Amino acid sequence: MSFKEQFAQAVARFFSWSWNEHPGKLVGTSGGFVFGLLLVILGFWRAVVLFLFIAAGFLLGKRYDEHRDLSAWLNRFFQK
């Protein structure tokens, strides 16, 4: 087995272990890394706007996955 294959397996085992044992830390660290890259590449305000759109998409997708009514939520959200 080559070094590249061994390294790929070790990384896969690490991420599998991390996901099973510390999912919040893995997601938080990954999110922080991605947000940091966006800050460096896009700048602060563009990264914040992009993050807000991503968060809104996540919330809408979560409600859809849970088979909850999107129209009632959107009406309540935008009528305030």
The model's pLDDT over 7-28, given as tens digits with 9 standing for 90+, comes to: 999 999 999 999 999 888 888 8
Residue 77 and residue 67: Cα distance in Å, rounded?
Answer: 18
Whole-angstrom Cα distance, residue 75 to residue 80?
A: 9
DSSP per-residue letters across 26-76: HHHHHHHHHHHHHHHHH-HHHHHHHHHHHHHHHHHHHHHHTT--HHHHHHH
Q: Tell me what pLDDT residue 71 has.
A: 77
For the question of whether the overall pTM of this predicted structure is more than 0.85, the answer is no
Task: Identify the pLDDT of residue 1.
Answer: 85
Instruction: Spell out the domain ranges in the chain.
Output: 1-42, 43-80
Q: Is the pLDDT of residue 80 over 70?
A: no
Asked whether the beta carbons of 18 and 25 are under 8 A apart, the reply is yes
Percent of the chain with pLDDT over 90: 40
